[in-house]
A = this chain, B = another copy of it.
Amino acid sequence: MFKKRDVAIISAATAKCGERWESGIKDLVWEAGVKALDDAGISGKDVEYMVVGNMSGGMFVGQEHIGALVADFLGLNPIPSLRVEAACASGGIAFSQGYMAVASGLYDIVAVGGVEKMTDVDTDQATSVLSGAMDFEWEAYFGATFPGLYALMATRYLHDFNVRREILAKVAVKNHYHGSLNPLAHFRNRITEEEALTAPMVAYPLRKYDCSPISDGAAAAILAPLEIAKKYTDTPILVEACVPATDTLSLLKRRDICTVDATVNAARKAFQLSGRERRDIDVMEVHDCFTIAELLAIEDMGFCKKGEAGKLYEEGQTYADGSLPVNTDGGLKAAGHPVGATGVKQISELVKQLRGQAEKGRQVSGAEVGLAHNVGGSGATAVVTILSRRS
C-alpha cells in the first residue's frame, strides 16, 4: 500500500500589508521570502521547488509568468517555479501544491509564496479585475460585483435565519480589534459597533466595515518532509490535511446561496483525513472577504448549526481569548486582503500562533491545532488546511 510522506512547515512569514506605493510585486515577495528563509536558517540555494499564488498579475500590473519572475528575482533559477491561480484562493491552492510537491517525494525543501500588487490600478479597475473571479458570462457581464454578490448572500441569510444586522458589525469590530494588535495589519484602528452600523453603504446590507480592503501584500512558507524538519526548527508544524474543493462559479447555480458547498466539502474531507474533531481546533483563520463570509464559513465547516454563528459573536467567543478564536491577525477585513497572498498569509498567522509567537492580546494561549479556510470568488473554490504543532 502506497503511503504519502508527512509534510511539515519549517518557517513562514508575512510582508507588511497595505497600500505599499513604494513596492512592486518583486519587492513584496522579497520581503516575505527573505524573512521565511532567514527564519528557517536556509538560503535560496536550499530551495528545490517553488509555487506562487497570484490572482491577476496580468490585469493588475501587466505581468504574468510570476512563478519564474519570483524565482528570478530571488536568485533561485533554475529550480521549477510556477504560479497557481484560483481567484482569492490562489494562496491556499499554492500551499496545496507545495504540500503535494513534498508529499509526492519529488522535492524536499519547497517554498510557497503568495503575492498581489493591487494598488497600481484605481478602485474601479480593481473591482473590474476582481470580477474575473466570478462567472464572466453569467455574472460579470451583467454588471455584478463581489460586494453585490455577497450582499445577496447576506440579505438572504439575515432573512432566513432571522439574524440581526448587528451580528455582521460584531464580526468587523472583532477583526479590527485583532488587527490593532498586529503590526503587519493593513488597518490597525479599532472600531465600534456604532461606527460599523452607520458607515457608508456599499451594497445593502453591507457597509464599509463589512468589506475587506484592496491591499498590496505577500506571504511565504517553507515546507519539508516531517522526518527532516527538526533539522531546521524546534517547532515543526505538521500539515495534517490540505484539501481544496470546487463549486459552481455563479451563485445562481447553487442549491442555496447561504451555504458554500466548496467549504462544506473541503472541511468534511480535511477533518476526515486528519482524524480531528471540530473541538480540537484551537485557532482558525477564516476567509472574511465580507463579514457575512466569516459567519457562513464557521457554519459550513460544522462549528455550529446553520444560522447560529451569531451566538458565538454575541458571547465574544471568537476573540483570541474565547472558545473559538477566529482571525486573530485581523482577518481579511483588518489584516488586509492581497488576494493571491491571503491563503499563505493565513498559514503564516497559524504558524505564529502555534509557535506561541503572536503579539500580546491576540496570542491564543497554548494553541496546538489550527485551521485555515481560504475561498475564491463567491465560493467556487475553497481550501481547508489543518495544522498542528510538533514539539
Contact = CB atoms under 8 A, between A and B. Distances in A.
Interface of A: 2-5, 24, 55-59, 61-69, 71-72, 76-87, 93, 96-97, 100-101, 103-106, 129, 131-137, 140, 225, 243-249, 253, 261-262, 265-266, 376-377, 380-381
A71 B140 CA distance: 19
Chain A contact residues: over half helix, strand or loop, or mixed? mixed
Contact of A69 (B72, B106, B135, B262): B135
Given A65-B377, A68-B86, A72-B380, A80 B132 contact: no
A85 B65 contact: yes
A24 to B, nearest CB: 7
A93 B64 CA distance: 14
Contacts of A380: 65, 68-69, 72
Given A62-B136, A84-B97, 19 more contacts: A62-B140, A63-B132, A63-B136, A65-B85, A67-B93, A69-B249, A72-B135, A72-B246, A72-B247, A77-B247, A80-B244, A80-B246, A81-B381, A82-B86, A84-B85, A100-B100, A100-B106, A103-B104, A103-B106
Contact of A65 (B76, B101, B133): B133
A3 B105 contact: yes
Contacts of A68: 86-87, 246-247, 249, 376-377, 380-381
A67 B86 contact: yes
27 contacts: A2-B5, A2-B105, A56-B58, A57-B132, A58-B132, A62-B131, A63-B136, A64-B132, A65-B85, A65-B132, A68-B87, A68-B377, A77-B261, A78-B247, A79-B245, A79-B246, A80-B244, A81-B244, A82-B84, A82-B85, A82-B86, A83-B86, A84-B84, A84-B97, A85-B85, A103-B104, A104-B104
A37 to B, nearest CB: 17
A337 B258 CA distance: 42
A262 B78 contact: yes
A131 B129 CA distance: 18
Contacts of A376: 65, 68
B104 A71 contact: no
A375 to B, nearest CB: 11
A101 B82 CA distance: 15
Contacts of A83: 84-86
Contacts of A262: 77-78
A149 to B, nearest CB: 13
A49 to B, nearest CB: 9
Contacts of A248: 72, 77
Contacts of A57: 132
A136 B381 contact: no
Nearest to A250: B72
A249 B67 contact: no
Contact of A101 (B72, B77, B100, B253): B100
A249 B64 CA distance: 11
Given A67-B246, A103-B106, A93 B82 contact: yes
9 smallest A-B Cβ distances: which pairs?
A104-B104, A64-B132, A80-B244, A68-B380, A65-B87, A78-B265, A4-B105, A63-B136, A78-B245
The interface centre, meaning the residue of A2, A57, A131, A247 with most chain B CB atoms within 10 A of its CB, is A2
A244 B100 contact: no
A83 to B, nearest CB: 5
Given A80-B246, A247-B77, A134 B58 contact: no
The interface centre, meaning the residue of A105, A243, A253, A265 with most chain B CB atoms within 10 A of its CB, is: A105
A96 B100 CA distance: 12
Contacts of A261: 77-78
